[in-house]
Amino acid sequence: MKSIEWSKLGFEYIPTACHIEYKNINGKWDRGRLVKDPYISLSIAAECLHYGQAAFEGLKVYRCQDGKVRVFRDIENAKRMISSANYACMTPFTEEMFVDAVNKVVTANIDYLPPYGTGGSLYLRPLIIGSGPKIGIAPSDEYIFLILATPVGPYYKEGLKGVNALIFEDYDRAAPYGAGRYKLAGNYAASLKAAKIAKEKGYPVVLYLDSKEHKYFDEFTSSNFFAVTNTGEYITPESKSILPSITNMSLIDLANHIGIKATRRSIEFNEIDNFSEVGACGTAVVITPINKITREDKSYHFNSEKGPVIQKLYNALVNIQLGRAPDPFGWMRLIE
């Protein structure tokens, strides 16, 4: 194993000891195996390659202050991945199989878990693909479910300093009755062009409005949107087109727990002048402050980097994840 500078990690794939891989042929999952080779062999006619029958997840494992290894809310990732698989007509696995796969892949890659205090974590990327050959458009008869593990640090190099977000009028993420609430690979392929243009203009992140009217906030490319109002309330969009973020769900519970009112509702773009802080939340981005939102020729500035609510929520969440604070909701699962 090559030595890793833990505190310098970004969000890049680093090959690790192995991944865990399961195959499903004719509707039945096998017992899975740990595989050293980080390549898979697929038919050139595999359904996932042509028609995008693929869904994935993202979750993190932490070395906690007490030296123990814990994963954050993996059962929620299992549930969400099963719902994505069902939506794309893939044969899902069970929650038990998912949890067992997490345990096995973490244990086998324990040397790649960043030490406590480095700011890093072991990122797990579960993936399910239609692997059987198909030339007509129809669900595959064969599937591969795998989980890879790779050590990561902050998603954005700006980290907690915050980033600027751009809204496009001519790119949408998900249709009103589309697949936006599922973690399908194709949603991300469809976001690459807008993200590239935004980056070229100096914006690391794209913020999407609802695609029907461009009137309400939806979410970012890889994270949910929330704002803190001038009256100190945490608000986050209610929308059928956004991914139900596990981080956001947790922040709502945490906010209420520490006395910050938290509401999920439709949020009009016009409310933007009432925001004091804006944040992006998700597994990869944790909570990233958004300092500026630009729409056409107008920019809106926020005190997010030094925002007191964002700081409180960030500390509350990370302290639970690293075992520095009690876990009142039972979110962390010990991996022995």
Using CB under 6 A as the criterion, which residues of the chain lie in contact with ligand COI when the complex forms?
Answer: 58, 188, 222, 282-284
Q: What angle do CA 150, 151, 152 make, to 5 degrees?
A: 115
CB-based closest residue to ligand PLP: 282
Residues in the chain, total:
336
Q: What angle do CA 336, 313, 306 make, to 5 degrees?
A: 130
Helix, strand, coil percentages in the chain from 3-state DSSP, rounded to 5:
25, 30, 45
Report the partner that residue 224 touches, choosing among ligand PLP, ligand COI, none (CB closer than 5 to 8 A by kind): ligand PLP
DSSP 129: E
Residue holding tokens 């795998």? 146
Report in angstroms how near the CB of residue 305 gets to ligand PLP at its nearest. 21
For 328, residues 6+ apart whose C-beta sits below 8 A from its C-beta are 257
Report in angstroms how near the CB of residue 224 gets to ligand COI at its nearest. 10
- The region of 129-137, 140-148, 209-217, 221-229 touching ligand PLP under the rule CB under 6 A is 221-229
* H/E run at residue 100: helix 95-108
The phi and psi torsions of 96 (rounded to 5 degrees) equal -65, -40
Report the partner that residue 245 touches, choosing among ligand PLP, ligand COI, none (CB closer than 5 to 8 A by kind): ligand PLP
d(CA 132, CA 177): 28
Residues 235-294 close enough to bind ligand PLP by CB under 6 A: 243, 245-248, 282-283
Residue 19 or residue 80: which is nearer to ligand PLP going by CB? 80
Q: Which of 140, 222, 239, 304 binds ligand PLP (CB under 6 A)?
A: 222
Report in angstroms how near the CB of residue 248 gets to ligand PLP at its nearest. 6
d(CA 288, CA 283): 11
Contact in structure between 221 and 242 (CB atoms under 8 Å) = no
Residue 81 or residue 146: which is nearer to ligand PLP going by CB? 81
Contact in structure between 287 and 314 (CB atoms under 8 Å) = yes
Report in angstroms how near the CB of residue 84 gets to ligand COI at its nearest. 12
Residue 150 or residue 224: which is nearer to ligand PLP going by CB? 224
Q: Does residue 224 belong to the site contacting ligand PLP (CB under 6 A)?
A: yes
Picking from 126, 152, 93, the residue whose alpha carbon sits closest to that of residue 19 is 126
Q: Which of 4, 52, 58, 325 binds ligand PLP (CB under 6 A)?
A: 58
d(CA 235, CA 84): 26
Report the partner that residue 236 touches, choosing among ligand COI, ligand PLP, none (CB closer than 5 to 8 A by kind): none
Residue 72 or residue 134: which is nearer to ligand COI going by CB? 72
Report in angstroms how near the CB of residue 25 gets to ligand COI at its nearest. 28
Amino acid identity of 308? P
Report in angstroms how near the CB of residue 115 gets to ligand COI at its nearest. 21
Q: Does residue 219 belong to the site contacting ligand PLP (CB under 6 A)?
A: yes
Residue 222 or residue 291: which is nearer to ligand PLP going by CB? 222
Among residues 8, 79, 183, 306, which one is catalytic?
Answer: 183
Q: What's the 3-state SS for 253-298?
A: HHHHHCCCCEEEECCEHHHHHHEEEEEEEECCCEEEEEEEEEECCE
Can 157 be counted among the known catalytic residues? Answer: no
Q: Which of 24, 223, 239, 291 binds ligand PLP (CB under 6 A)?
A: 223
Contacting residues toward ligand PLP, per CB under 6 A: 58, 219, 222-224, 243, 245-248, 282-283
Residues with a known catalytic role? 183
